Amino acid sequence: MGSRNNIPFVSWRRLRKSFYYAAKGIEHTWKYEQNFRIHVLAAIGVFILAQLLNVPLSEQVILAVVIGAVLGMELINTAIEHVVDLVVKRYDEQAKIIKDAAAGAVFVFALTAAIVGAMIFIPHILQLLL
């Protein structure tokens, strides 16, 4: 018995469009959000340092996960800020709290990522120095 629904399991056209829209969101965030650019440049520096210190692949995977999470949170923070700005057209204390909390979430995870990075890099740096 055939399906009455002729929608394909995967629409390559829709999938391609979704990647395009995601790339546009990343592009917008790169262009207008200073902190996103700083995080991306820091990530590049981290991966270069990991190669120079011969950090094992398993530890590089951990770095990639925390860096990806920070960048993802920056994108979510940008989306939240734009939604708040779209809905609230004037200064509003509750809107400020929402935006500050979203920025705080990024900060907490960025700090966590920095701690993870330190836990991974410090032993490798000490090994070089000693």
Q: Tell me whether residue 74 is one of the annotated catalytic residues.
A: yes
Distance CA 69, CA 92 (A): 29
**Alpha-carbon torsion angle 121, 124, 125, 129, nearest 10:** 170
Q: Which is catalytic among the residues 27, 59, 74, 81?
A: 74
Burial bucket for residue 98 (CB in 10 Å: 0-12, 13-18, 19+)? middle
Instruction: Identify which of 129, 121, 113, 130 has the alpha carbon closest to the alpha carbon of residue 53.
Output: 121
Q: Residue 71's closest CA among 98, 36, 114, 121?
A: 36
Residues recognised as catalytic: 74
